[in-house]
Structure 1
Amino acid sequence: MPDLFDLVAIGTGVAANAVAERCRAAGWRVVIVDERAFGGTCALRGCEPKKTLWTVAEAADRAHRLTDMGLVGGDRVTIDWPSLMAFKRSFTDPVPERHARAYAKAGIEAIQGSARFVGPNAVEVAGRRLEARHILIASGAKPAAPPIQGAELLATSDDYLALERLPRRLVMLGGGYISFECAHIAARAGAEVTILHADDRPLAHFEQDLVRRLVEHSRRIGIGVELGCRAAAVERAGEGFVVAVEDGRRFEADLALHGLGRVPNLEALDLVSGNVAVEKGRLRLDRHLRSISNPAVFAAGDAAGQGPQLTPVASLDADVVARNLLEGCTHAPDYTGVTSVVFAIPPLASVGLTEEAARGQGLRFEVKQGDMAGYQSVRRTGEPAAAFKLLLEPEGGCVLGAHLLGPQAEEVINLFALAVRLRLPARDLARMLSAYPSGGSNISSMLG
C-alpha cells in the first residue's frame, strides 16, 4: 500500500526546507527526501563551508599585506590546511542531525534515499511508494558533464571542500565561480594553481572591466590564468594527472578540478514516468514554478533553473512555491536585484545590468567608474585591487547596475541591490548618511 501525503519534497536544501516547513505549519502531511545527507548544498558543500575557508585565507592574506604597515610578522603567517578543514567541519558536521531533529519536531517525515517518479503523483524511495497531492523538485544542481576525455577523473568542488591535505599543484578547468574561489583559497594556502579557460571571457556574467582587473591581480599573486585554453583530455600520470589542451600544451597536477559549471540535478528522478516535461536538461515550468505538463509538480532553487544558482534565489523560489500551494497559484518570482559575488580575494560583486547587457537592450545610461585603491577604507587594508563601475539612468535616475571589486564588496553590493530592486534614484542613494569610514561610505564618492 502506498503512503499518502499532501506534499513530497525532494531535497533538503534551503528551498525544500522552507516549503516543507510552511506546508507542515498549515497542517499538511509532509515528507522530505534526500539521496545525500540532510542539509543541502549551501550548508554542507557550498556557500557556507567555502566562506569559512575564505575567511581564514583572507585573514592570512591581509596579514601579509599589512606587513611593514605596523604589523610585525604578518609575512610569516601560514595556513594549516588540516586545522582549517577541522574548523570547517565544526560548521558542517552538525548539520544533518540538526535537520533531522528539526523535521521530527515539526512533524515532517524524513527519508534518506534516492527518489524517482513512478507516476504523476507518486515517487518511490527506499522501497516505499509515496503518493501526494503535490511534489516539489528541489534536488539542487550537479557538475555538468563536459565533453572531455577522462572527465571522470576530475575532482568536484565537493571533493575540494573535503580535502584533508592540500595538493601541491592544482589545475582548475573552467574560469567560473568555482575555479576562481577555490584557486584564491588554495593559493593563499601555498598551492601552485592554474586556471584553464576555453575563451577570453572568464566569469562571463560579470562586468568584464572588473574581471580583467581580477585576472591581472590573480596572476600577480601567482595564480596562472590561461585564457583561450580549452581542455581536451585528463589523464592519469603516476599519482597525479595531466590535463591536455587543444593547442598541444599539457599541464601537470596533483589534483584537477571541475569548474565547468553546474546543471539541475534531475537525471535520477525518471521524470518521464512523472509526466514532467524537460527540455535540454531543464524543467519546463510556467511563471509560477509549476510544471507545464503536470500541475501537481513544482520546482524551486537550482533544480528549477529559473534564476541564478544562488541561495537567495532558492529562498525566493521557496516563498513563491509555498504561497502558490497554500494560497492559490497566482505568485511568480521577481529576480530583480539579485546579487552575485565571486569570493576571490578580494571579492568581485555584481547586481543589475552589465554595460554589455545594457547596450544590448538599447538603454540610455551613464557610466561612473574608477579605482578605489586610494580610498581610506581600502588603502588601510593594503589591498591594491579595488575598483567600481556603475550604470545609472541619465540625470540622477535609477541604478541599472553596480559592479565592485575590493574589500567589503560583498557587503556594499547589498546597498546597491536594494536600490536596483526598489528602483531607488541614484541621487537619493547618494544622500545616505553612512558610518564613516566604512565600505558604505564609499558610495557617495562613487556617485559623485
Structure 2
Amino acid sequence: MKKYDLFVIGSGMAGMNIANRCASKGLKVGITDELPYGGTCALRGCDPKKIMLAATELRHFATNLEDRNISDIPEISWKAAMKSKQEFVEIMPAKLEKGYEKNGVETFHSSARFIKENQLKVGDEIIEAAKIVIATGAKARHLDFPGGDLTLTSTDFLNFENLPKSLIFIGGGYIAFEFAHMAARYGSKVTIIHRGERPLENFDPFIVEQITKATEELDIELILNTDVSKIEKSEAGYKVTANPDGNEKNWEAEVVINSAGRLPAIFDLDLDKGNVKFTQKGIVANEYLQSTSNPNVYVAGDAAATDGKPLTPVAVMEGHIVASNILKENSKKPDYSAIPTVVFTSPAMASVGLSEEQVNQMGLDFIVKKNSIPNWFTAKRLNEKTYAFKTLIEKDSGKILGAHLTGPHAEEVINLFAMAIKGGLTSKDIKTMILTYPSASSDIVYMV
C-alpha cells in the first residue's frame, strides 16, 4: 500500500493546480488519470477547438468583405488545421507529466475507485491518503434510445482525419453550435436537432435569436421541438428518426454527434464506498468545496455540484481554493459572481452576470437596454450583419447587473463588462471613461 498526504483523481486544470501547489508546500502528493494528462480543455476542448476555429474565422471575415476589399475567399483545409492542432495537443501530456515529476508529484495512469473513506484502488495499487481530491471533469451524456451508442462525441469530432461531408448534432447547446459553425465553414452539410423550443437555453433569448439567424444563413438546418427516438445505420451512414408534431421523420448523415450535454465523470468511482454523497449534478460539497459526507474529500471543476459554471476558468479558481483549504484548513470560499461565458460561433456570443429572468425573480428595479446594431461602425467596417446587445442596469444605483452580446470580438468585450460588474462600476462610470476608438470595446459606452 502506498500512502500520501494528498491524492488527486483527474489531471485537468483543477487537479494540476491542486497537486502542484500542495506538493510545493511539502505534502506528499500523487495524481492519476485514465486519460492522457491535460484534461478536456487542453486536449479535447477549449484549446484544440480554438486552433481549429482560426481558419474559419478568417473565412468568415473574408466572406463578409468579398464585395468590398477581398476578391477571393480563401480556401481552408481541415487536414492542415488538424495537423496544427495535433502539434499543440501531442506535446502537452508529456510536458505536464514532466512538470509533476519536477514538483515531486508521483504520477499514475489508471482509473481510480474508492475502497474505503480514505483508500483508493488505482490500477493494481492500493492508495491511502489523508486527503483525496476529485477533479475528474465531465463527459458526454448517455443517449438513452435505440442506437444512442452509434453517436460520436465532441472529442471524436476534434480528431477526425477527414471531416465528414454531412453531420447531425443531437442537442442544441453550445457544443453543437460551435462545432456546427466550424464544420459548415469547412464545407460539411450540418443539421442540429434539438428537443427544446429554442436552442442555447442558458443564454439570453434576444441574443440567441441573432445567432440563430446567423446559423441558418450558413445553411445549417436547425430542427427544434423534436425528440430523437432512434438512430440506425444506413447507406448514407446513419439515419436519425424523430417525431416532430407526432409525425415520424428521418434525417441522414455520414456521422451523428452527441451534443446533448455533459454530466460529471464521477459515476465509476464507487463513491458510496468512500462515503461521498453525490447527485446527477456532481459531488455534494460545502462552501469550502469539501464533501459534506466525507470531510477528507474535496472536489473541484465539473465534478462538483456547485453554482459554478462548467468552464475552465471556474475549474482553475476552484483548484486554487481547494489547494488553499487543504493547506490552511478551509480558509477560502469560491466567488461565482461576474464569470463570463462565450459560445465560440462566428461571430461569438457572450454573457456575464444575471439574466433578465434572474433579475425579475430577485425583484430588483432595473432598466433593460437592447438593440440589434449592425449599423454601428464596429460591424459596418467588417460588413458584419450580426451585432446585438442586451444590458441590465439597476435603476437606483446604476450598477451593471448583466450583459449579453453577439458580434465582432464579443468574446473580448464581455471581459470589460465582467470587470465592471466585479468592480461595482455604474453606467455613469462607464459612460465617462475614455476608451480607444475605433475599437469594439469603445461600444460599451453606448450599451449602458
The reply on whether 1:410 has 2:407 as its aligned counterpart is no
1:41 has 2:64 as partner: no
Determine if contact 1:243/1:252 at 8 Å carries over to the other structure: yes
Equivalent in the alignment of 2:320: 319
The residue type equivalent to 1:261 in the other structure is G
Give the 3-state SS of the residue equivalent to 2:447 in structure 1: helix
Tell me how far apart the structure 1 counterparts of residues 200 and 36 of structure 2 sit (CA, whole Å): 30
* Distance in 2 separating the partners of 1:148 and 1:339: 34
For the residues of structure 2 that align with 1:125 and 1:85, how far apart are their CA atoms? 33
Aligned partner of 1:253 in structure 2 is 253
Q: Does 1:157 align with 2:158?
A: no
SS in structure 2 at match of 1:94: helix
Residue among 236, 240, 247 paired with 2:237: 240
Name the residue aligned to 2:167: 170
Query: Is contact 2:229–2:243 with CA below 8 Å preserved after alignment?
Result: yes
Aligned to 1:3: 2
Query: Are 1:32 and 2:31 counterparts?
Result: yes
In structure 1, the residue matched to 2:293 is 293
Q: Which is further off, 155-164 or 58-67?
A: 58-67
What is the alpha-carbon distance in structure 1 between the residues aligned to residue 170 and residue 343 of structure 2? 16
How far did 1:246 drift? Answer: 2.0
Q: Residue 12 of structure 1 corresponds to which residue in structure 2?
A: 11
Aligned-partner residue type, residue 95 of structure 1: M
Aligned partner letter, 2:136: S
Does residue 81 of structure 1 match 2:82? no
**Aligned partners of 1:377 and 1:439 also within 8 Å:** yes
Residue 273 (structure 2) pairs with residue 273 (structure 1): yes
Kindly state the Cα deviation for residue 100 of structure 1 after the two structures are TM-superposed: 1.1
TM-score by length of 2: 0.97
1:213 Cα deviation (Å)?
1.2
Counterparts of 1:41-440 in structure 2 under 5 Å?
A: 41-74=40-73, 77-238=74-235, 240-247=237-244, 248-280=248-280, 282-306=282-306, 307-395=308-396, 397-440=398-441
In 1, the alpha carbon distance for the partners of 2:272 and 2:195 equals 34
Take 2:441 and 2:216, find their aligned partners in 1: how far apart are those partners? Answer: 29
User: Which digits, 9 at most, give the CA deviation of each residue in 1:384-416, with x for residues without a partner?
Assistant: 111000000115611000000001000000010
The residue type equivalent to 1:241 in the other structure is Y
How many residues are matched? Answer: 444
Q: Aligned partner of 2:190: which letter?
A: V
Quickly say closer, same or farther: Cα 1:400–1:281, change in 2 above 3 A: closer
Judge conservation of contact 1:136–1:299 (CA < 8 Å) in 2: yes
Shift of residue 239, structure 1, vs aligned partner? 5.5
Q: Secondary structure, in 3 states, of the residue corresponding to 1:400?
A: strand
Q: Would the aligned equivalents of 1:35 and 1:114 in 2 still touch at CA under 8 Å?
A: yes
SS of corresponding position for 1:85? helix
Which secondary structure does the structure 2 equivalent of 1:401 belong to? strand
C-alpha change, 1:437 and 1:266, in structure 2 (3 Å) is same
Deviation at 1:380, TM superposition (A): 1.4
Do 1:373 and 1:379's aligned partners in 2 also have CA atoms closer than 8 Å? yes
Letter in 1 for 2:78: W
> In 1, distance between residues paired with 2:268 and 2:67?
56
> Could you tell me how far apart the structure 2 residues matched to 1:246 and 1:145 are?
20
Q: Which moved more, 1:109-118 or 1:143-152?
A: 143-152
Q: Provide Cα deviations, 1:50-107, integer angstroms capped at 9, x if missing partner.
A: 1111121111111111112121212xx2221111110111111110110111111111
Q: Deviations over 1:209-264 (max 9, x none)?
A: 11011111111121111111111111111361011112311110111011100010
**Contact kept? 1:396, 1:427, Cα under 8 Å:** no
Amino acid at match of 2:344: F
Letter in 1 for 2:99: A
Q: Quick one: percent identity of the two aligned structures? A: 40
- Residues of 1 paired with 2:231 and 2:362: CA distance? 40
2:236/2:252 contact within 8 Å kept: no
Per-residue displacement from partner, 1:153-179 (whole Å, max 9, x unpaired)? 111000000011111111111110110
Q: Which runs of 5+ in 1 are unaligned?
A: none
In structure 2, give the amino acid aligned to 1:187: A
CA RMSD, Structure 1 to Structure 2 (Å):
1.2
Letter in 1 for 2:61: R
Distance 1:66 1:111 in 2: 51
**3-state SS of paired residue (1:367):** strand
Report if aligned partners of 1:122, 1:129 keep a CA contact under 8 Å in 2. yes
SS of corresponding position for 1:349: strand
Note the alpha carbon deviations across 1:246-294, whole angstroms, 9 max, x for none. Answer: 2311110111011100010012211111111112352111111111110
CA–CA separation in structure 1 for the residues paired with 2:364 and 2:281: 33
**Structure 2 segments unaligned to the other structure (5+ residues):** none
CA deviation profile, 1:325-375 (whole Å, cap 9, x unmatched):
111113211100111100011100000111122112222110111122122
